[in-house]
């Protein structure tokens, strides 16, 4: 029997990779997206799956649209990935971050409770919950959020646990540490660095401006991490898991490795710009995925050096294609086929 999944935030990095992972496992995949003036489907097209998923417009600020998305798709599994997920922006938009990233979770949970409590839920949590420290974090490490994004995610984390315990809903929290890929947005420091290294090596630009070079993160590879999401949903009982690499590297290390990939010295091109410093910053994050290894059989396949190499090589190829006169495949306005978009006012024939 074919299983059905609904992914909120399917147009993001994780949503796109997860959709591909589920399609490879013969799932029927639906995804929600937010209507905006400029469509943002480039990741789905990049992975060549745009025509293989069914898209439903929905808004986490609108409970009715969340209910409708679940009613239309009738999912066996719901992966809630949609959020305002950029830490820097959460300081600029703390109220909006709370509404979308925090209260959006309760809207999804309530929709499941009202429509079909047998639907399994994966809630995308974050390592930012820990707020830093000096050692590896496990599922038992106390949370100390240090930014509005983390505080909003903490609300979602606890509400997921409460609905699991109070309403017997199969609901998991995936406490994922930083995970990157060539599909990462340019506002995130890893992709900002890999993209700049590629451009500088080709003479397109001269330098890159960054904030805190000393902050250390546990960086993994997004396709590895979406596999852990699926594994959590296949267990007999719901639980919460840390997903990480057990390694920590600084922003400076990432920059050094990225520029080394293109034969350049990072110190000649990286400038510190105080405008990119945050009011509060987490200096150190490292996860311990021991529980996931034992219970899920999961472990990261791609580690730090290979991750940087993958990202820089892909950005380098993109800019070379641009120099050759090809349009960026991620820069063109991409519209999904009309028969793959499901109106919230029309029920799709099954």
DSSP 63-99: HHHHHHHHHHH--SEEEE--S---HHHHHH-HHHHII
Token look-up 């090809």 returns 326
Tokens of 1: 């029997």
**Hey, CA dihedral for 126, 129, 131, 134, is it positive or negative?**
negative
* Catalytically annotated residue among 27, 33, 79, 128: 128
Is 289 annotated as catalytic? no
Q: H or E segment at 126?
A: strand 120-126
Is 128 annotated as catalytic? yes
Q: Give the C-alpha separation, 143 to 10, whole Å.
A: 28
Under 8 Å between Cβ of 287 and 218: yes
Longest dimension (CA), the chain: 59
Label residue 327 exposed, middle or buried (CB < 10 Å: 0-12, 13-18, 19+): exposed
Is 149 annotated as catalytic? yes
Label residue 105 exposed, middle or buried (CB < 10 Å: 0-12, 13-18, 19+): buried
* Catalytically annotated residue among 126, 160, 190, 245: 126
* Catalytically annotated residue among 149, 163, 225, 289: 149
Helix (H, G, I), strand (E, B) or coil at 12: coil
| Residues designated as active site | 126, 128, 149
């Amino acid at each position: 029997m074919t299983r059905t999944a609904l992914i909120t935030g399917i147009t993001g990095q994780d949503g796109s990779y997860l959709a591909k992972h589920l399609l490879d496992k013969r799932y029927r995949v639906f995804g929600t997206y937010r209507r905006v003036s400029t469509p943002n489907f480039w990741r789905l097209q990049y992975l060549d799956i745009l025509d293989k998923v069914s898209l439903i417009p929905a808004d986490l600020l609108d409970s009715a649209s969340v209910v409708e998305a679940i009613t239309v798709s009738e999912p066996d599994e719901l992966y809630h990935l949609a959020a305002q997920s950029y830490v820097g922006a959460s300081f600029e938009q703390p109220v909006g971050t709370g509404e979308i990233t925090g209260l959006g979770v309760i809207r999804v949970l309530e929709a499941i409770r009202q429509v079909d409590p047998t639907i399994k839920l994966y809630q995308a949590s974050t390592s930012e919950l820990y707020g830093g420290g000096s050692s590896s974090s496990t599922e038992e490490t106390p949370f100390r959020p240090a930014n509005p994004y983390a505080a909003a995610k903490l609300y979602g984390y606890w509400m997921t646990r409460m609905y699991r315990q109070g309403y017997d809903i199969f609901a998991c929290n995936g406490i994922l540490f930083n995970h990157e890929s060539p599909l990462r947005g340019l506002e995130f420091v890893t992709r900002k660095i890999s993209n700049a290294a590629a451009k500088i090596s080709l003479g397109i630009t001269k330098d890159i401006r960054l904030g805190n070079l000393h902050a250390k993160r546990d960086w993994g590879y997004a396709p590895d991490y979406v596999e852990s999401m699926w594994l959590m949903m296949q267990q007999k009982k719901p639980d919460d898991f840390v997903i990480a690499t057990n390694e920590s590297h600084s922003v400076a290390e990432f920059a050094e490795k990225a520029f080394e990939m293109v034969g350049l010295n990072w110190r000649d091109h990286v400038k510190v710009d105080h405008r990119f410093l945050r009011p509060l910053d987490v200096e150190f994050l490292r996860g311990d995925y021991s529980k996931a290894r034992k219970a899920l059989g999961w472990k990261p396949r791609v580690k730090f050096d290979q991750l940087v190499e993958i990202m820089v090589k892909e950005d380098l190829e993109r800019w070379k294609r641009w120099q050759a006169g090809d349009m960026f495949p991620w820069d063109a306005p991409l519209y999904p086929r009309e028969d793959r978009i499901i109106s919230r006012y029309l029920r799709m024939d099954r």
